[in-house]
Structure 1
Amino acid sequence: MTEVWIEVDQIFEVSLGELAECGGAPDYQPPQLVAWNLPEQGKIALRSHGLPPTRGDELLGIVGGLQESEDPEQGPDGRQIYLLGSYGTSGLAAVEGSGEVLAIPSSPQVHPDLAHLHPSGILPTPVNSTIVGLVECAWRWHSILPLLALEQERAGEAEIVAWKEGRIGEEIPDPYAGYQELCAYVLRRFQEIDPAIRNGSGFWFDVIIDVS
């Protein structure tokens, strides 16, 4: 675990430009950005670094994919948004004017058994308070994700060994304790990038703590 912690720290210390270059950021100047009503710093971040490309492994990461239109679309909650990319089946979009980044569900429909929890349907989830925050978090996560996935796999293997040896229930260290501590540390570092990221719930909490 010590080596992994060092690698994670190195990912947070390296410049965003170096990370994006290693991750394959496209070298382009999307013309539609000029017309979008978004904070200038956010547009500069998208022009300079973009968002990560499609991963070459089976892990779920943020993938860039700017909408081609110069005009905003209407989000499920009525706000005007610009599509920036995706995470799984959810779109990632910036709110016109403010630049707040939201995760847009592929469908607002809710299973009937869960309708009481979502009376207005599944609404967008806050991701980052700024586009700048999204770009930095996305690229650092792009590099950190494989490290956490490997540690999660190792913890699972250690648990299986403990079961086979009949040690489950004894006073032995939790095989997942080190992995969970590392995930919590990554979340804290993301909160330093964007203080709007919360503990206990929210997009980045779910992504980091429940990495698989």
Structure 2
Amino acid sequence: MRESADREVTKAREAPLWNLVDPGGIAEVGHEAVSQWRVPEADIAALLESGLPEKVTPRGYFFHAPQSGAAPGVPISGGDYYGIGFFGRNRIAVESGSGVVYRFTSEGVGLLLNSSVCRYVECVWRWREVVPVMVGLANRVRGGGQDGFFEEKIREMVGCMSGTDPVAANSDPFLWKNIVFDS
């Protein structure tokens, strides 16, 4: 189990993004609409080239369904945002202009998820790759298998997410750290 888990975590951390994208599990992205979004060109390219995983299982944390319109469709918290999906019941949206990705609570409070769509795309595909392994390790620990291996793999994935988006890593809270630890 350890050797296999270590291999999977290493792949999730180190593989080129194109090697993690599952063409059969991509949420439908309206190319025409997304190409008109008012966000940095690199963010548009990331959405069009890599897309977003439709859902991240086994827990179903993330469900992506990018809005089909070209105009911002999520008027939350006094700003204009493009809806790209949900984290549980919380809306995930991209700020018009900056391309910053937020998770909005049910009260409409925006929490920084990633500093750009590019970084979000990379983090969510890497998380999709590793979440089954992390959940398996977590279940093993919950079943009484106390060892440091699971905690080591958590630290490695938090480090990966921090390295992918140092701006988000310095925010409080760093949501990817919470997501990884909650696996």
Q: TM-score, normalised by structure 2?
A: 0.88
Q: Which residue of 121, 125, 130 maps to 1:135?
A: 121
Q: Which residue number corresponds to residue 188 of structure 1?
A: 159
Do 2:103 and 2:112's aligned partners in 1 also have CA atoms closer than 8 Å? yes
Which residue of structure 2 lines up, in the alignment, with residue 123 of structure 1? 109
Tell which structure's C-alpha radius of gyration is larger: 1
Q: Which runs of 5+ in 2 are unaligned?
A: none
Compared with structure 1, are the counterparts of its residues 58 and 8 closer, same or farther at alpha carbon in structure 2 (3 Å cutoff)? closer
CA positional deviation for 1:6: 2.4
CA-to-aligned-CA distance 1:47-100 (integer Å, 9 cap, x gap): 111110134x54133222111222113543211111112211111111111100
Report the counterpart of residue 150 of structure 2 in structure 1: 179
Look up the match of 1:54. 55
Listed one character per residue, the Cα deviations across residues 11-67 of structure 1 (whole Å, up to 9, x for unaligned) are 222221121136622576521112210110000110111110134x54133222111
After the TM superposition, which residues 12-31 of structure 1 pair with which residues of structure 2 at under 5 Å, given as runs? 12-21=13-22, 24-25=25-26, 30-31=31-32
Offset, 1:203: 1.5
Q: 1:201 aligns with which of 156, 163, 173?
A: 173
The letter of the residue matching 2:70 is E
Task: Please provide the CA RMSD for this pair.
Answer: 2.1
- The aligned length equals 181
Give the distance between the partners of 1:60 and 1:206, measured in 2 at CA.
16
- Cα distance in 2 for residues equivalent to 1:137 and 1:61: 14
Letter in 1 for 2:36: A
1:33-48 to structure 2, matched below 5 A, reads 33-48=34-49
Distance 1:90 1:28 in 2: 20
Query: CA deviation digits over 1:113-169, x for unaligned, max 9?
Result: xxxxxxxxx51110000100000000010010000000011111225xxxxxxxxxx
Separation in 1, partners of 2:28, 2:109 = 33
Task: Report if aligned partners of 2:12, 2:127 keep a CA contact under 8 Å in 1.
Answer: no
- Partner Cα separation in structure 1 for residue 62 and residue 32 of structure 2: 22
Report the Cα distance in structure 2 between the residues aligned to 1:61 and 1:179, rounded to whole angstroms.
20
Q: What pairs with 1:63-82 in structure 2 (closer than 5 Å)?
A: 63-82=63-82
Q: Separation in 2 of the partners of 1:71 and 1:22?
A: 27
Give secondary structure in 2 for the equivalent of 1:63: strand
What does residue 94 of structure 2 align with?
Answer: 94
Question: Percent identical across equivalent pairs?
Answer: 24
Shift of the 27–127 alpha-carbon distance from structure 1 to 2, 3 Å rule, reads: closer
Residue 210 of structure 1: how far off its partner (Å): 1.3
CA gap 1:183/1:75 in 2 versus in 1, 3 angstroms: farther
For residues 9 and 22 of structure 1, the distance between their equivalents in structure 2, rounded to whole angstroms, comes to 21
Q: 3-state SS of the aligned residue for 2:93?
A: strand
- Residues 51 and 139, structure 1, Cα contact 8 Å, conserved in 2: yes
Gap regions ≥5 residues in structure 1: 109-121, 160-174
Residues 50, 64 of structure 1: 8 Å contact kept: no
Task: Provide the TM-score with structure 1 as the length reference.
Answer: 0.77
